[in-house]
Amino acid sequence: MTTSIDAPYEILTPDTAVAYVRTRPALAGRIDADDVRSVREIGDGNLNLVFVLTDGAGCGLVLKQALPYVRLVGPSWRLTPDRARHEAEALRLHGQLAPGLVPELYDYDAERYVLALEDLSDHRVWRTALNDGLRHDGAAEAMGRYVAAVALGTSVLGMDAGERAATLAAAVNPELCLITEDLVFTEPYVDAGRNSVLPANEPDAAELAADQDMVAAMGRAKWAFMTRAEALVHGDLHTGSVMVRAADGTGGPVDSAKAFDSEFAFYGPVAFDLGALWANYVIAAARATALGDDDRATWALGLCTRTWDAFEAEFRARWEHGLADPRMFRADLREHLLATWRGEAWLFGAAKMTRRIVGLAKTTDVETLPPPLREGAARGVLRTARRWVREFPADPAPRRAEEIAGELLRATATR
């Protein structure tokens, strides 16, 4: 059972969740609190508690509560529960800009750091679906459109200057940004004691840390992450933070794809979310390659182009009718921004790949492989990251990023 270890506010449990719902007027009508048939704790993530409540009529809702520490590590790693406010505010704004592409927020309890959210029990976590061999075509395009909506709608391009300044001030998220700054950009190269790899991959991790081109590129990427307040980005957008639902109820084309877990949201570089998606597509391809499914690996890598193409098309469309002040924001600026973000997606993708292989909080795509297969998959992802930072200036097209990854994943496979 969940406990309230060292928490200054009451922590929800399966036994208290229903009584809590009764105290929240905003949830009246969302679920029959007098006929709740099940309360399931599904918070198996790194930071929070998550409960799904379902009543006799099949109506459901999700309660997500931020703990005052990192759940993955425990109370020894203190972390502000105010991250729940950041998630609530990002969901409200992103939901207005990209309706249907994030879960609906029903309620936010600022005293106990609880969000009440749309129940997505009829969806699957995209990473889990990918690990099971399902494709869910259309999800990559949906995420590209989501990033584009946020890129224009929360930036100086799409917001009134005063509104944007107020939103930016409220979105300052230093503790969670520090986690990214450390785990993504620094610790794969300067180990703080949280890194780990298979013994067979220790030489690969050492080569990564000794690669001065890679370290220099990550310094540039970290600088951009810390200084470029372009838009209210998701901040942790990967296949594990996307829920998907197939129209046919299996693994076919999606009729719904929603980005969730936006507690890392902050004003940062637009390309960070794009790069995070690209990195996780490579990791999905690494799993497929290790399992001998080269066709599926090629498909997974192709999601980079699909996401970028959808992002670019949506951004161009919104540019035509969504500029807050078009007097000085001309087509030449639009092309400059798109070119910049396309190249930076390679850098941020490289950063995200190495973090997930060497650093804390890895991915099930690779970690659930048998060790002999995991060795080659991990090596291929690390070598892809190192090549990406060298080659993107010559040809920044996402198709070239896919080609590089495919070549290296096949060359390093230990199947």
pLDDT tens for 67-83 read: 988 766 767 778 889 99
d(CA 82, CA 266): 13
User: Is 5 contained in some domain?
Assistant: no
Pair 194, 361: CB distance under 8 Å: no
d(CA 160, CA 304): 32
d(CA 320, CA 393): 29
User: Comparing 67-76, 135-144, 159-168, 316-325, which segment has the lowest mean pLDDT?
Assistant: 67-76
**Residue 147's domain spans which residues?**
124-412
Shared-domain flag, residues 225 and 280: yes
Residue-wise pLDDT tens digits, 292-306? 999 999 999 999 999
From 408, 410, 357, select the one nearest 202 (Cα to Cα).
357
Determine which helix (DSSP H) or strand (DSSP E) holds 107, and give its type and residue range.
strand 105-109
- Domain boundary (118, 146, 164) is at 118
Q: What is the DSSP string of 359-407?
A: SSS--HHHHTS-HHHHHHHHHHHHHHHHHHHHHTTT---HHHHHHHHHH
User: Is 62 contained in some domain?
Assistant: yes
Shared-domain flag, residues 131 and 250: yes
Q: Write down the pLDDT at residue 231.
A: 98
Q: What torsion do the CA atoms of 314, 320, 321, 326 make, to the nearest 10 degrees?
A: 130
Shared-domain flag, residues 317 and 231: yes
What pTM does this model have?
A: 0.95
For 215, counting Cβ atoms within 10 Å of its Cβ (0-12 exposed, 13-18 middle, 19+ buried), the class is middle
Shared-domain flag, residues 58 and 114: yes
- Confidence class of residue 1 from pLDDT cuts 50, 70 and 90? very low
User: Is 318 contained in some domain?
Assistant: yes
Q: What is the DSSP string of 63-88?
A: EEEE-SEETTTEEEEE--TTHHHHHH
User: Is 407 contained in some domain?
Assistant: yes
Shared-domain flag, residues 44 and 171: no
Shared-domain flag, residues 24 and 159: no
User: Is 406 contained in some domain?
Assistant: yes
Shared-domain flag, residues 207 and 144: yes
d(CA 210, CA 229): 30
Contacts (Cβ under 8 Å, ≥6 apart) of 391: 400, 404
User: Comparing 76-80, 126-130, 209-213, 231-235, which segment has the lowest mean pLDDT?
Assistant: 76-80
Q: Write down the pLDDT at residue 404.
A: 98
Shared-domain flag, residues 286 and 319: yes
Number of domains in the chain: 2
Instruction: Name the DSSP letter for residue 31.
Output: B
Shared-domain flag, residues 98 and 196: no
Q: Write down the pLDDT at residue 42.
A: 87
Where residue 55 sits, what CATH number does that domain have?
A: 3.30.200.20
CB count in 10 Å sphere of residue 54? 18
User: Is 317 contained in some domain?
Assistant: yes
d(CA 106, CA 125): 21
User: Is 192 contained in some domain?
Assistant: yes
Where residue 226 sits, what CATH number does that domain have?
A: 3.90.1200.10
Q: Write down the pLDDT at residue 72.
A: 66
For 128, counting Cβ atoms within 10 Å of its Cβ (0-12 exposed, 13-18 middle, 19+ buried), the class is middle
User: Is 94 contained in some domain?
Assistant: yes
Shared-domain flag, residues 98 and 191: no
Shared-domain flag, residues 47 and 158: no
Q: Write down the pLDDT at residue 45.
A: 58
Shared-domain flag, residues 284 and 394: yes
- Domain boundary (100, 118, 136) is at 118
How much is the average pLDDT of 263-271?
97
- Domain boundary (118, 142, 157) is at 118
d(CA 197, CA 43): 25
